[in-house]
Chain A
Amino acid sequence: MPMPHLTRMPSFKAFFAILLCVAPVATIAVAMPPNPENVTAVDKPGDAGATVLLRWTVPADAGATNARVEQRVTRDGASVAEEWTLVEVVAADAGSGDGFAITDLPPDSASSGSSLPIAFRVALIGSDGEISPFVESSPVVARRNWFMTSRLNLLIVLSIVCGAVVLWILLARAGRSVKIRRIAALEAIDEAVGRATEMGRSVLFVPGIQDMNDIQTVAGVTVLGHVAKTAAEYDAVLEVPTSRSLVMTAARETVQAAHFAAGRPETYDAGRINYITDEQFGYVAYVTGKMVREKPAACFYMGAFYAESLLFAENGNSIGAIQIAGTAEPSQLPFFVAACDYTLIGEEFFAASAYLSGERDQLGSIKGQDLGKFLTGAAIIIGSLLATAASLAPSGSFASASAAYQAFFGG
């Protein structure tokens, strides 16, 4: 007996017809996620006007895995841009809490002083890729604020450090005793220049390879003033090759002032302070060549140095010069320490000008700097203790205190 074909059976036809009617509805109900709710866009307060916070909520049991965020610039309620542009596809719950921070704003809305509103829209995406209808936010303007709140911690720390410096300057002016430890490298300046004078050789001063907008160059030029004054008093020849034109101009002013201060303006020779080249290794070639040919008896390296630090210092060492270096480049300090007779390490370099001046105001500022160092040390110890306590009791109050402490200092 032959088997009847399934589709010819009346009951199966009825079932198939019902299935055809229900299937599309069932598919939509299962795959398409619901619309996101409460879509709001707000300007991030206390920033440079380059961030908007977009918030939305995902309905319960929505089954959405991602959310598609789009934006366009509007003006007077109408769209400026033709098309919505994709910002990002993010996790569905990215709009909860503080919201999703959008920093990739349209260029004409994030430009300086712009007041163009930006509209955003969000759609939820299901696990099978089906996307819900978009829900649009009301337009928002990303405004620049007067104060960047993310830098409040730095402002507080800076105020404390600067306050300590100013306090000690005022105390020094009021007659408070200011005792600064002896810095061997600075005490050796007179010895080095004196040695060059006795040997009848020149003194070489290298003010680094950066321009006058680098604080290290400024610090180097202030030390140059003292070296030039000593050289003028001893009648020693001071050579200052520079790698920046502006440094040459500043160095000439400083050396001239030093000769005036030494009471010997007639010995000032601008021709000994020259511009060589901005090119790093071209400058190195000139200075090291000069060292080998003229064999200066004393070499000073004060400023910002990079790969050339060891080239200078080793050449100076090979000609038997007494060498004094000072820089705030941590990576170059080991080279100077290895090859020079004396090295001003970091803060000593910046303290040099105040130390050499001997003025109460300036010495007071070094004491203020020391107070800042003490406070920094105390902050590190407190942070270490809190972090240790937090690791021992991860859910206690120490943990939250440690987290807040790290958040304040940007950790």
Chain B
Amino acid sequence: MLRRTIPIIILSATGTMLVVAYFSPFTLSWGETVLDWFNILAAVAFVLGAGNLLAVNLEKVSSRKAGWAYAAITLLSFAAMFIFGIFKVGAVPNPSAPDVHLAGAYEGLPSAFGWMYEYVLSPLTATMFAMLAFYVASAAFRAFRAKNVEAILLLGTAFIILLGRTAAATLLTGWIPVDSAFAVLRLDNVTTAVTEHVSTAGMRAITIGIALGVAATSLRLLLGIDRSYLSKG
């Protein structure tokens, strides 16, 4: 009972406070205080998360499960970054206290933490992100198969937009004078019309629906009608 009632009371009180703080500048600091509470909670939960990460990977290594070597690399990386960050290995001395090693900034080059971030993590992240281009191509290939009327419309629109965004637009329709009555048929103009009018109208309709959904969901949570996120215990 208490495990469900108290969280609902806390949620309703803080949620209402944040709504009031949005409309009343006098209570703005209340909203900031509530966000500070969240940050404290998130910081405590981060300890739980780090503990969970260590436990899962240690268990994988100790029981020699499939892919245990990856778990070992994860643990090594975790330990290395933790030590580099906490002990500020290779940190640039702070000008106001050059003799105090721990006064320096742990991030940024040439600190070990900054070096790992710049030359290990960033390239790995960029590699993952770069793969997106190939996934876009494969998804587009599947999505644009003309199997029904809607798919044909989608394919046609995508074809026009693709042409309009490349040099092909100028090559194919660049000869139409900009100030003529047929200028609307230039591919760059058609592309702009589709993205600015048709696409924007659709996006706005979705955005309005989302805003109303957010309002209704928030209200269900504040009123304690939706309790599906709570434990039954």
Cross-interface CB contact of A274 among B52, B67, B207, B220, cutoff 8 Å? B52
Q: Which residue of A lies closest to B43 (CB)?
A: A245
The CA of A289 and the CA of B128, in the complex, are separated in Å by: 12
The CA of A107 and the CA of B77, in the complex, are separated in Å by: 44
Contact A260 B232 (CB under 8 A): yes
- Contacts A155-B23, A347-B209; is A353 near B215 (CB within 8 Å)? no
| Chain A window 227-266, contacts with chain B (Cβ cutoff 8 Å), 1 for yes, 0 for no | 0000000000000000011101110011011001100000
Contact A338 B143 (CB under 8 A): yes
Q: Which residue of A lies closest to B141 (CB)?
A: A338
Contact B229 A281 (CB under 8 A): no
Contact A257 B231 (CB under 8 A): yes
Q: Which residue of B lies closest to A375 (CB)?
A: B212
- Contacts A165-B216, A245-B48, A330-B207; is A310 near B29 (CB within 8 Å)? no
Residue numbers in B under 8 Å from A249 (CB-CB): 45, 48
Chain B stretch 82-105: residues in CB contact (< 8 A) with chain A: none
Chain B stretch 106-161: residues in CB contact (< 8 A) with chain A: 121, 124-125, 128-129, 131-132, 135-136, 138-140, 142-143
The CA of A357 and the CA of B212, in the complex, are separated in Å by: 19
B177 at the interface (CB under 8 A from A): no
The CA of A187 and the CA of B50, in the complex, are separated in Å by: 36
A401 at the interface (CB under 8 A from B): no
The CA of A156 and the CA of B24, in the complex, are separated in Å by: 14
Residue numbers in A under 8 Å from B48 (CB-CB): 245, 248-249, 275
Contact B210 A362 (CB under 8 A): no
Q: Which residue of B lies closest to A149 (CB)?
A: B23
Residue numbers in B under 8 Å from A162 (CB-CB): 215, 219
The CA of A362 and the CA of B124, in the complex, are separated in Å by: 44
| Chain A window 92-108, contacts with chain B (Cβ cutoff 8 Å), 1 for yes, 0 for no | 00000000000000000
A372 at the interface (CB under 8 A from B): yes
Contact B206 A333 (CB under 8 A): yes
- Contacts A222-B229, A250-B229, A373-B212; is A147 near B23 (CB within 8 Å)? yes
The CA of A260 and the CA of B228, in the complex, are separated in Å by: 12
The CA of A256 and the CA of B65, in the complex, are separated in Å by: 26
| Chain B window 188-217, contacts with chain A (Cβ cutoff 8 Å), 1 for yes, 0 for no | 000000000000000100111110111111
Cross-interface CB contact of B56 among A245, A271, A354, cutoff 8 Å? A271
Contact A48 B25 (CB under 8 A): yes
The CA of A155 and the CA of B225, in the complex, are separated in Å by: 23
Q: How large is the interface on A (under 10, 10 to 19, 20 to 34, 35 or more residues)?
A: 35 or more
Residue numbers in A under 8 Å from B29 (CB-CB): 112
The CA of A147 and the CA of B23, in the complex, are separated in Å by: 6
Contact B24 A281 (CB under 8 A): no
Contact B215 A314 (CB under 8 A): no
Residue numbers in A under 8 Å from B223 (CB-CB): 166, 169
Q: Which residue of B lies closest to A216 (CB)?
A: B214
Contact B232 A362 (CB under 8 A): no
Residue numbers in B under 8 Å from A256 (CB-CB): 231-233
Residue numbers in A under 8 Å from B129 (CB-CB): 281, 307
- Contacts A147-B23, A346-B209; is A310 near B135 (CB within 8 Å)? yes
The CA of A276 and the CA of B70, in the complex, are separated in Å by: 13
Residue numbers in B under 8 Å from A261 (CB-CB): 232
How far is the CB of B85 from the nearest CB of chain A, in Å?
Answer: 14
Stretch in contact with the other chain, from A76-84, A127-135, A363-371: A363-371
Residue numbers in A under 8 Å from B213 (CB-CB): 328, 346-347, 349-351, 369
Contact B206 A346 (CB under 8 A): yes
Residue numbers in B under 8 Å from A365 (CB-CB): 216, 219-220, 225
A218 at the interface (CB under 8 A from B): yes
Contact A353 B219 (CB under 8 A): no
Q: Which residue of B lies closest to A226 (CB)?
A: B228
Contact A158 B215 (CB under 8 A): yes
Residue numbers in A under 8 Å from B206 (CB-CB): 330, 333, 345-346
- Contacts A246-B45, A271-B56; is A253 near B229 (CB within 8 Å)? yes
Contact A257 B216 (CB under 8 A): no
Contact B225 A339 (CB under 8 A): no
A361 at the interface (CB under 8 A from B): yes
A335 at the interface (CB under 8 A from B): yes
Residue numbers in B under 8 Å from A281 (CB-CB): 124-125, 128-129
Residue numbers in B under 8 Å from A277 (CB-CB): 53
Residue numbers in A under 8 Å from B207 (CB-CB): 330, 346
Contact A260 B212 (CB under 8 A): no
A70 at the interface (CB under 8 A from B): no
Residue numbers in A under 8 Å from B212 (CB-CB): 161, 347, 369, 372-373, 376
Minimum-distance CB pairs A-B, first 4: A245-B49, A350-B213, A275-B49, A48-B25
Given contacts A162-B215, A274-B52, 20 further A-B contacts (CB under 8 A): A146-B24, A146-B25, A162-B219, A253-B230, A257-B230, A257-B231, A275-B53, A276-B53, A281-B124, A284-B128, A310-B135, A311-B132, A313-B139, A330-B206, A339-B139, A345-B209, A346-B210, A347-B210, A350-B216, A350-B217
| A interface list, Cβ under 8 A from B | 47-49, 112, 144-148, 151, 154-155, 158, 161-162, 165-166, 169, 211, 213, 215, 218-219, 221-222, 225-226, 244-246, 248-250, 253-254, 256-257, 260-261, 271, 274-277, 279-282, 284-285, 293, 307, 310-311, 313-314, 317, 328, 330, 333, 335, 337-339, 345-347, 349-351, 353-354, 357, 359, 361-362, 365-366, 368-369, 372-373, 376
A-B contact pairs, 27 of them (CB 8 A): A48-B28, A146-B24, A148-B25, A165-B219, A211-B42, A218-B221, A222-B229, A244-B42, A244-B49, A245-B42, A248-B45, A248-B52, A254-B229, A256-B231, A260-B233, A274-B53, A275-B50, A276-B53, A285-B128, A307-B129, A311-B128, A339-B142, A346-B209, A353-B228, A361-B225, A369-B215, A373-B208
